Amino acid sequence: MRRNCFAMGLCLCVLGAAITSHGAEPVAARQEAAFQLPADKRPAGWTVLKAGDLGAIFDRQGDGLQLVSLFDLAKHRQLLAAKSPALFTVTMRQTESKEEVSLRADAGWERIQVAPAPKPGTPVELSWQTPKDKRLKGLRVTVLGSLDEAAGALRWKLSVDHVEQPWSVRHVVFPQVAVDASSPQFEFFYPKGPGQVKRAPWPPQFSYGGMYPQGWISMQFMAASDKQHGTGLYYAMHDPQGSSKEVHVDWQQASQAMSLAFDVPAENMDVAGNGYVSPGESVWQVLHGDWFDAALIYRAWVRQNAAWFPKLTSEGRADTPLWMRELPLWAQSWGDGKKVVPELKAFAKTMAVPVGTHWYGWHNNPFDNDYPHYFPASEGFGDAVRELQANGVYIMPYINGRLWDTHDKGKEDFQFSSVARPAATKDEAGKPYIETYGSKESDGSPVQLAVMCPSTQLWQTKVRQTVLRLMNEYGTKAVYIDQVAAAAPVLCFDHAHGHPTGGGHWWTGSYNEMLAAIRREKPADRMVTTECNAEPYVKSFDGYLTWHWCCDDQVPAFPAVYGGAIQMLGRAYRGGPTPELALRMKAGQQFVFGEQIGWFDPSVIHNPQSADFLRQVVGVRWQLRRAFYAGEMARPPKLQGRIPTVRADWQWDNPGWVTTDAVMTGAWTLPREHHSMLLFVNVSDQPVTARVQIDAAAYGAEGPQVRIVTVKATGQGESSVSPSKIERELLFPARSAFAWELRQVDGKK
């Protein structure tokens, strides 16, 4: 028996044999008591870790070690479900026979050691040595745990050493936990698109996951909250390079448990003797709050550590041209200049603000066909660009950043085999990864598009040349490079490419290298955007097309983390049975989420009711534009009273019914300037009256009083001074948007 207890609440104790469970409540009580007991009074076999408000107990059970408790010591709540999966699963492969073997934390080891931290502030070390499977005899799994007293967090790193040939590490699931989800007020945040929060009523089964980074898994954190007891768990991977990793979330009604896991494909996963070190740290942290509090934890880490976080000035992104930081509105154009020019000029005139347009079909090749051969542009394209940009319309043509058509000249294999194939991503059998979308060759067969490897000079050069040619030869102010922040990394096994095969951070690193060269060479007043919002490319782009933010249960977690670091634009505005309400809901949500509004078919101006609403939203955004690019998101204010909801088919799925509050709220703040904007938009057909209760101090306005200035599309309106604890009944007229500027009353602002 060894014992080592530290000051500062860091405590780790190791005893001998196993114990058994006796039902949830007595076990929880016994576990909570164990955190207070001296080490020699604790149940045998328990390893007790304490980091501020977070406690964890590991139990030595037979030939494994199992997490049996995660405890919120401040709220006296067990966070772990009655049954939690093995802390890790390491999948090994015999590289010759391809046989796979799984090593689990909870069984199958000759030797398990728990080494206390040698001094406060250093990590504890858990190690699993000598698997019972004799073929893997020297292998060792080491888990280092750092205890963060102030945050109430445990931070983990895992490594696999002594991997001997012919074995390789394929992938590592770590750390797996199942959170107790039995509370009737259990909520779960996950990073789908902008972020979504799932609440009761729960379906019988709920799952979420896939390969990060991609548009549907945009960030590396999740949050479970039990609103009834005010407790919860922040569960994250703080990986500063954005390595490829799968997220697995699974909820089962029967077990009332939410299982969470990161599953990381190993670097050089097909190379015998590769070994493994987890990318970054896995974090468990007590969460006394909701999705917004979780986003703030992640934001603090991102700003300090993430390789993709850009340099920000007091005016936001200095490397993004001001016109793009300010832009309030986007259109979407299809076709040649003859069609596009008049409709966009009319759109810009009606909306009376600067406009960007995302131009598809500017080239002669059909969409998703014969990529990457875009030139020559359709006739008159250059003239159209010049004319529109002289009239306050910024042109952003479409190109694809990821695909090469395997029949890239009609049905002919023009350059795929002779030029592109060596630079295409390959599976383990050496075959290019091929994707098909809706596009068809002239014989009706699907266009077969190869996924190009971003690490290759060929692909980096091709994309760079295409972007620069559009900017330099045609003068476009922007280029949209499709799919980069939408599609998940591909596990490329082409050894000739020189990157680690399979997993790692080479995929995100390669795209960032490609974009860094584009940013260096492009004129300073131009900008680039891409599809969706996978975070590891934020510094490489000026804007993200958030067109897929079209689901129910959305919350603005991505804007909370990245507002000011990248501009967001574009929702999929579609038809269906409720197009006008759906338009107002989407535009209203974009407004409070801090996005640039759009993108619209320019014909939207011919619907007077929609156009009037858009002019309000876009107009208020234009008044407040600096807050969005130089500021950051603050907690959206919550209205008191019964707020009606609205429901429309957003047409993402078919059908895609989405319900939101009729009155949406948001907040953006310039913290250094003690100056915030509260945004309100009633997207419904009915006026709504609600009570606003806001503490202006929470929005940076210090002192007993605050000045409130109402901002409408037409400019600043009434101004009044209020006690800083604001309490007012407000009327939100139907189909209206306005904002409050909160300013500190001290003569400075």
Dihedrals φ, ψ of 391, to 5°? -110, 25
Residue 590 to residue 595: CA distance in whole angstroms: 5
Taking the least distance from each CB to Zn ion, the nearer of 306 and 453 is 453
Q: How far is the CB of 273 from Zn ion (least distance, A)?
A: 21
d(CA 569, CA 253): 37
> Least distance in Å: CB of 1 to Zn ion?
51
State in angstroms the smallest separation of the CB of 611 from Zn ion.
48
C-alpha 626: how far from chain center: 24
Give the closest residue to 424 by CA, choosing from 445, 405, 399: 405
The amino acid at 633: M
Please check whether residue 85 is in contact with residue 176, taking contact to mean a CB–CB distance below 8 angstroms. Answer: yes
Closer to Zn ion by CB, 497 or 743: give it: 497
CB-CB neighbours of 74 under 10 Å: 14
Closer CB to Zn ion, residue 168 or residue 501? Answer: 501
Q: Residue 534 and residue 526: Cα distance in Å, rounded? A: 22
Residue 696, classed as helix, strand or coil, is helix
Query: Which residues, 6 or more positions from 632, have their beta carbon under 8 angstroms from its beta carbon?
Result: 560, 563, 564, 668, 669, 671
* 195 versus 504: smaller Cβ distance to Zn ion: 504
Q: Which is nearer to Zn ion, 505 or 548 (CB)?
A: 505
Amino acid identity for residue 348 in this structure: A
Give dist(CA 350, CA 619) in Å, integer: 12
Tell the smallest beta-carbon distance from residue 510 to Zn ion (Å): 8
Minimal distance, residue 508 CB to Zn ion, in Å: 13
Q: How far is the CB of 623 from Zn ion (least distance, A)?
A: 48
Distance CA 467, CA 482 (A): 12
Report the residue number, 451 or 518, with the smaller CB distance to Zn ion.
Answer: 451
- DSSP secondary structure string, 275-300? -EE-SSEEEEEE--S-HHHHHHHHHH
Report how far residue 286's alpha carbon sits from residue 53's, in angstroms, rounded to the nearest whole number.
7
Shorter beta-carbon distance to Zn ion: residue 497 or 584: 497
Closest approach, Cβ 430 to Zn ion, in A, equals 12
CA–CA distance, 481 with 458 (Å, rounded to integer): 16
Phi, psi of 464 (to 5 degrees): -60, -45
Select 153 or 515, whichever has its Cβ closest to Zn ion: 515
Judged by beta carbon, residue 477 or residue 497, the one nearer Zn ion is 497
| Closest approach of Zn ion to the CB of residue 511, in Å | 12
Gap between the Cα atoms of 378 and 364, Å rounded: 5
State the residue for tokens 């209020």. Answer: 722
Question: What minimum distance in Å lies between the beta carbon of 270 and Zn ion?
Answer: 13
Q: Which is nearer to Zn ion, 333 or 460 (CB)?
A: 460
Least Cβ distance, residue 497 to Zn ion (angstroms): 4
Structure tokens belonging to residue 410:
């009609």
Q: Could you tell me the two tokens for 375?
A: 């030139």
Report the nearest approach of Zn ion to the CB of residue 501 (Å): 8
For residue 455, the minimal CB distance to Zn ion (Å) is: 5
CB 494 → Zn ion: shortest distance, Å? Answer: 5
**DSSP-derived secondary structure for 539-582:** GG-SEEE-TT---TTB--HHHHHHBTTBEEE------SS-HHHH
Give 492 or 688: the residue with its C-beta nearer to Zn ion: 492
* Pair 57, 78: CB distance under 8 Å: no
Amino acid making up residue 149:
E
In whole angstroms, how far apart are CA 250 and each of 204, 261, 302, 745? 11, 9, 26, 50
Between residues 497 and 621, which has the closer beta carbon with respect to Zn ion? 497
As to burial, measured by CB atoms within 10 angstroms (0-12 exposed, 13-18 middle, 19+ buried), residue 195 is buried
Cα 93 from Cα 502, distance rounded (Å): 14
- In the complex with Zn ion, the residue whose CB is nearer, 458 or 551, is 458
Residue 690 C-beta-side C-alpha neighbours within 13 Å: 24
Residue 341: CB minimum distance to Zn ion, A: 42
Q: Which of 453/479 has CB closer to Zn ion?
A: 453
Q: How far apart are CB 515 and Zn ion at their closest, in Å?
A: 17
Instruction: List the one residue out of 424, 423, 415, 422 whose CA is nearest residue 373.
Output: 415
Binding residues (CB under 5 A) for Zn ion: these are 453, 492, 494, 497
Helix (H) or strand (E) segment spanning residue 660: strand 657-661
Which tokens hold the place of 239? 């990986």
146-181 burial: b if 16+ Cβ within 10 Å, else e? bbbbebbbbbbbbbbeebeeebbbbbbbbbbbbbbb
Between 93 and 499, CB nearer to Zn ion: 499
Q: Please give the single-letter amino acid code of residue 297.
A: I
